[in-house]
Amino acid sequence: MQNTKPTSKMFLDIVGELRLMIKAEGIEVGDKLPSERVLAERLQVGRSTVREALRSLELLGLIETRRGEGTFLADFKKHQLVEVLSPFIMQQTGSAKDARDTRIIHEKAAIQSICSDSRKQKLPVWKSLLMKLAEEGSVLREDIVREMIVATDNRLSLKIWFLLKQYSRVPYGKMTEVKENQIVSTLLEQLIEGHVFEALNAYERWIEEIEGEE
Amino acid sequence: MQNTKPTSKMFLDIVGELRLMIKAEGIEVGDKLPSERVLAERLQVGRSTVREALRSLELLGLIETRRGEGTFLADFKKHQLVEVLSPFIMQQTGSAKDARDTRIIHEKAAIQSICSDSRKQKLPVWKSLLMKLAEEGSVLREDIVREMIVATDNRLSLKIWFLLKQYSRVPYGKMTEVKENQIVSTLLEQLIEGHVFEALNAYERWIEEIEGEE
DNA sequence: GTTCGAAAAGTGGTCTGACCACTCATGTCT
DNA sequence: AGACATGAGTGGTCAGACCACTTTTCGAAC
């Protein structure tokens, strides 16, 4: 019986078994896993126990289940891990200031990353944003920042930033002030030139301009 | 009936409900959650459904379950999450790099924050670390970096860093090379002096020394 | 023979009820 | 007062039963 393992968590064993099975049978991303009923019989456990393990893996984004079809090995790129974890982390951490500071950390890191990128592959993005800013006189703040993070090609950072953005309700709307337009133009120009210090300087002035009293 | 929600995943809703409940009832880390049977009745779902959600959260390390006692809100120190996820993450090329890059983002941000702190309240920490390094000839790498993040007084950043640290299998153990000791000494000295550029420079050399070929 | 549609099989989603093993508080007996 | 037995409460697991959905099968109509 499985009752001889009082200490270990059954469903954790199942998770391990599944991992071994995936490897042993050469199941690739997108392939179908054995059905819950088959797994239960093969592993000699109840179906509900199998389900607890599968639901855990699903929450992690390791598998994908489609009713009526089956369970499939998922592309881990799409993990909603950060989404699930963040509410708890934010709740236990609690500080709005931390959320803001951390968001800024990622935004600054993006600027530094962009300026250090010798290949300058993302140049067209900044130039088009700069042009749009000059023509229309206004751009969504969020678009600019998001493009910066996207440009770093770090999905994890992007996810974290996206979530933090929601926790620190920043006026990410349209820009109205002429002064702000000038600052952002400077920021973009420095990004294009790859001048880290100047770009960061412009960014900090921008933050100051937006959030003002802090 | 709950059957009117064919699209959404029931157990994901439960996860959300639990989060709300935790917040509403002010459940702190270490506190006991309602029993599975109570939760099932209160949320008007079957016990097995509740369990699927709870097992998921347990795998994430957000809750801790003790047979015969109950379910408790955990401070995810027990991260079996990592053991489960690491094999999958390492397979997906992009994920591991993102985790490492993001971790370094937070570490660098900590250095910048410390150097910019005009009050220099954390000076004693660096001095004691520096002394310990000189006396014992070796310190745990992790201790140094952790102290840096702690010094920023940003608990959210600390939590994120802590999670990321586990995924990037970095030799966070003891330092052995004399050269590394010198680099870290330099880093600490520059932290004390508040020289951002020099500190970051030392940090980058450190990373290079540790991780070598990259 | 081909095509179309209904039935069947397979699968995940959920609920119920039943045990088991364990912990803890309660109360009883010595 | 202390030691021990008991019962309530809780998580762990299982079996069986539906439901909703998708895919396959297969036979009837053309």
Tens digit of each residue's pLDDT (9 = 90 or more) over A202-213: 999 988 887 764
Fold of A2-78: Arc Repressor Mutant, subunit A (1.10.10)
pLDDT digits (tens, 9 = 90+) for B15-51: 888 888 888 888 888 899 999 999 999 999 999 999 9
Looking at chain B from residue 115 to 134, which residues have their Cβ under 8 Å from any Cβ of chain A? Answer: none
Rounded to an integer, what distance in angstroms lies between the CA atom of residue B159 and that of residue B146?
A: 10
Band of pLDDT at residue A86, cut at 50, 70 and 90: confident
How is chain A split into domains, by residue range?
2-78, 90-211
Residue range A41-64: average pLDDT?
Answer: 92
Q: What is the pLDDT of residue A162?
A: 84
Q: What number is the average pLDDT over the span B8-12?
A: 74
Who's near B53: CB < 8 A, 6+ residues apart?
A55, B11, B12, B14, B15, B18
> Under 8 Å CB-to-CB from B98, ≥6 apart: which residues?
A154, A155, A156, A157
User: Could you tell me whether strands A70-73 and A63-66 are parallel, antiparallel, or unpaired per DSSP bridges?
Assistant: antiparallel
Q: Between chains, do A76 and B55 touch, taking CB under 8 Å as contact?
A: no
Question: Mean pLDDT throughout B149-170?
Answer: 83
CA of A36 to C1' of C13 (A): 12
Nearest CA in chain A to B75: A92
pLDDT digits (tens, 9 = 90+) for A22-33: 888 888 888 999
Find which nucleotide's C1' atom is closest to A37's CA: C11
Q: What is residue B186's DSSP assignment? A: H
- Separation of alpha carbons A194 and B119, rounded Å: 32
Looking at mean pLDDT, say which of A164-178, B105-119, B132-146, B161-175 comes out highest: B105-119
Tell me how many degrees the CA angle B12-B26-A104 measures, rounded to the nearest 5: 70
Structure tokens at B62: 């957000």
Domain spanning B2-73, CATH architecture: Orthogonal Bundle (1.10)
| B101 to A58: CB separation less than 8 angstroms, yes or no | no
Residues of A within 8 A of B160 (CB-CB) are 89, 102, 160
Q: Which of A17-21, A47-51, A54-58 has the lowest mean pLDDT?
A: A17-21
Give the pLDDT score at A94: 66
Q: Give pLDDT, residue A212.
A: 61
SS (H, E, C) B88-140: HHHHCHHHHHHHHHHHHHHHHHHHHHHHHCCCCCCHHHHHHHHHHHHHHCCCE
> Do B181 and B137 touch, CB atoms closer than 8 A?
yes
More confident residue, A172 or B162: B162
CA dihedral B103, B109, B113, B114 (to 10 degrees): 50
Average the pLDDT over A127-154 and give the result.
84
From the CB of residue A22, how many other CB atoms can be counted at a distance below 10 Å? 18
Give residue B175's pLDDT: 61
Residue B172 scores a pLDDT above 70: no
- Of the candidates B52, B89, B108, which has its C-beta nearest A76's C-beta? B89
Task: Kindly indicate the confidence band of residue A2, based on its pLDDT and cuts at 50, 70 and 90.
Answer: very low
List the single best residue of A88, A108, A163 to mutate versus B (max B Cβ within 10 A).
Answer: A88
pLDDT at residue number B109: 95
- Report chain A's terminal Cα–Cα distance, integer Å: 63
Q: How confident is the model at residue A35 (pLDDT cuts 50, 70, 90)?
A: very high
Kindly tell me if the per-residue pLDDT of A6 is higher than 50.
no
Please give the mean pLDDT across all residues of chain A: 82
Q: H helices of A8-140, where? A: 10-24, 36-43, 47-60, 81-93, 96-116, 123-136
Q: Concatenated DSSP letters for B189-203?
A: HHHHHT-HHHHHHHH
In the structure, how far is the CA atom of residue A207 from the C1' atom of nucleotide D24, in angstroms? 60
Mutation for testing the A interface, residue in B156, B158, B197, B203 having most A CBs under 10 Å: B156
pLDDT band at B150 (very low <50, low <70, confident <90, very high): very high
Choose among A163, A154, A153, A152: nearest CA to A191: A152
